[in-house]
A and B are shown apart, each in its own frame.
Chain A
């Protein structure tokens, strides 16, 4: 039996109003992406954004990596420019796999908002399900967790960093070309 633990403290909870604004921000972000409004999405990002998705490592719990060249690798390892490039690709009108349109439905839940050492930066944890539906019956849903840093700016909240964790080792999908 695991020892009784206190709920792990990520940080001090933000105040309620901030927590509310963060939830609204994440919901709006999901909607903007579902609606393929990539310029609006890019405007929600801080230009110093770090956007990552590591591959889960199926090693034994007591793995001793030694000198092997095998190491953690990223499915997404993007900066603002690369995210802009991905968005620009979607907007070329020449991504045949999205014509007829692919439908995405993003659900964001279990949102927790914490304070960090920096007064205007919040550590936000959430879970998501991203349903992608295309063609006749090409329905796929990915569920994962996100660890975000959001900054309060004069221009509203901005996403400063996002680490997406998808637990599937082998992705059973024709691609992961979608924003999480």
Chain B
């Protein structure tokens, strides 16, 4: 039983969040257990490890994890920890191997996690059973259309149930063609002195800060067809003017989506969107055929931010995928990847990869602006009085709009619905007494728009 009352730390009706949730070390320890040890977490993508022996390293919470395709073709994930004394068995970030050999005493594990060789085994051990000393596996690893997820929970919802209706939206990126999406390159990795929740809810829902926090960048980046237009994504460049028509935030608990719904503005920030939009319009008819009118015409090509709880963001338009790894209560690592449909022409992929780097890479002109806020919100509560404060996410609360897709929608991307939903889900997970309680109770299923 936790000593914290998570019912009080988040007040959903008043849309208030206690600032201690970004600061309190013991809350962070609860998060590692309740959230990162139970939820389905993004591990990687098939395109990164297509062949037997291909591996990559990532994190599940703070646990260092190896994700590897074994000789048998199956993808597994293991704690990166030797079962002898606990040294890491792999220090490379990615590669291809038949075995992971511990650098301490030389125990070697095959790429299916079995302990294959122990130096001097016969001579020195009378009691060693190699079959019981394989790498510790991540309890379940499942794949959704190329996306590899893992959970430490032995039971509880399967991946498909966990994603639920979010699959409807994810498919716009993952299933726009039979070949599907791929991740490109090695991720940008940056460690920032802030709490992990802040970059997550910022990316999935904070349309409000874009024009102001990034005002310098907004003045110099391109906007579709308008050269340096006065408004970006419906928001005036100096935070004046606001147009919420035809834009939305939608809650698909435990996940969220923000989208401009115009089928094109994902490329608003590109300097040379021409080839991207040309390709987009070329594939649109086939996507409409695959996914229907709503997804093919309204979602495809829109600036669409999909938040998969807890720490994955898939951003169509900017065409990036980000994972936020916690590093203690006061720091996080962001890993940012470029993504594109596999069929995308190289010329367009090249534009996308460059654009991701120039906007949200390590030296991205937008990415860099947010570090100060995250740091201040996280670390100012070192002060006792500041720690008693609450953050407020009351914008557009109660505003509703009709939307044919799954979930409850609210108008405008300048809205705090997605962020409220994130904290509601955070609270739900922190209160869950078992893994079977991490998902919200099923709402009456809405008839979804053309499947």
Q: Are B220 and A57 in contact (CB under 8 A)?
A: no
Q: Are B215 and A97 in contact (CB under 8 A)?
A: no
Query: Residues of A contacting B48 with CB < 8 Å?
Result: 68-70
Contact of A86 among B94, B187, B365, B371 (CB under 8 A): B365
Is there a chain B Cβ closer than 8 Å to A15's Cβ? no
Is there a chain A Cβ closer than 8 Å to B184's Cβ? yes
Contacts known (A73-B185, A174-B372); A94 close to B216, Cβ less than 8 A:
yes
Q: Are A73 and B368 in contact (CB under 8 A)?
A: no
Q: How far is the CA of A73 from the CA of B95 in the complex (A)?
A: 15
How many interface residues does chain B have, given as a range?
35 or more
Contacts known (A92-B219, A174-B371); A169 close to B95, Cβ less than 8 A:
no
Shortest CB distance B232–A (Å) = 13
Contacts known (A60-B92, A174-B372); A70 close to B56, Cβ less than 8 A:
yes
Contacts known (A85-B221, A94-B216, A170-B333); A175 close to B186, Cβ less than 8 A:
no
Nearest residue in B to A53 (C-beta to C-beta)? B363
Q: Are B189 and A169 in contact (CB under 8 A)?
A: yes
Query: Residues of B contacting A92 with CB < 8 Å?
Result: 215-216, 219-220
Nearest residue in B to A169 (C-beta to C-beta)? B189
Is there a chain A Cβ closer than 8 Å to B259's Cβ? no
Sample (30) of A-B pairs whose CB atoms are under 8 Å apart: A58-B93, A60-B95, A63-B95, A64-B95, A65-B95, A66-B50, A66-B53, A68-B94, A69-B50, A69-B182, A70-B56, A70-B183, A71-B186, A73-B185, A73-B187, A73-B353, A75-B357, A82-B271, A90-B216, A94-B215, A94-B216, A95-B215, A96-B215, A169-B93, A173-B190, A174-B193, A174-B372, A175-B190, A175-B367, A176-B368
Q: How far is the CA of A60 from the CA of B96 in the complex (A)?
A: 9
- Residues 36-93 of B contacting A (Cβ, < 8 Å): 45, 47-51, 53-54, 56, 91-93
Report A74-118 CB contacts with B as 1/0, cut-off 8 Å.
111110011001101110111111000000000000000000000
Q: Are A69 and B92 in contact (CB under 8 A)?
A: no
Q: How far is the CA of A97 from the CA of B333 in the complex (A)?
A: 20
Is there a chain B Cβ closer than 8 Å to A55's Cβ? yes
Report A152-180 CB contacts with B as 1/0, cut-off 8 Å.
00000000000000000111111111000
Contact of B217 among A55, A74, A89, A174 (CB under 8 A): A89
Contact of A69 among B47, B96, B364, B375 (CB under 8 A): B47
Contact of A65 among B96, B190, B354 (CB under 8 A): B96
Report A130-147 CB contacts with B as 1/0, cut-off 8 Å.
000001000000000000
Contact of B188 among A75, A86, A95 (CB under 8 A): A75
Shortest CB distance A73–B (Å) = 4
Contacts known (A67-B50, A92-B219); A177 close to B357, Cβ less than 8 A:
no
A→B interface (CB under 8 Å): 53, 55, 57-60, 63-78, 81-82, 85-86, 88-90, 92-97, 135, 169-177
- Scoring B191, B220, B221, B363 by chain A CB atoms within 10 A of each residue's CB, the highest score goes to B363
Query: Residues of A contacting B271 with CB < 8 Å?
Result: 81-82, 85
Q: Are A69 and B184 in contact (CB under 8 A)?
A: yes
In terms of DSSP, what is the predominant structure of the interface of chain A? loop
Query: Residues of A contacting B338 with CB < 8 Å?
Result: 73
Contacts known (A67-B51, A70-B185, A74-B357); A89 close to B190, Cβ less than 8 A:
no
Q: How far is the CA of A90 from the CA of B217 in the complex (A)?
A: 9
Contact of B96 among A63, A75, A176 (CB under 8 A): A63
Q: How far is the CA of A60 from the CA of B192 in the complex (A)?
A: 27
Q: Are B185 and A95 in contact (CB under 8 A)?
A: no
Q: Are A88 and B220 in contact (CB under 8 A)?
A: yes
Is there a chain A Cβ closer than 8 Å to B358's Cβ? yes
Q: Are A55 and B188 in contact (CB under 8 A)?
A: yes
Is there a chain A Cβ closer than 8 Å to B419's Cβ? no
Report B349-377 CB contacts with A as 1/0, cut-off 8 Å.
00001100110011111011101100100
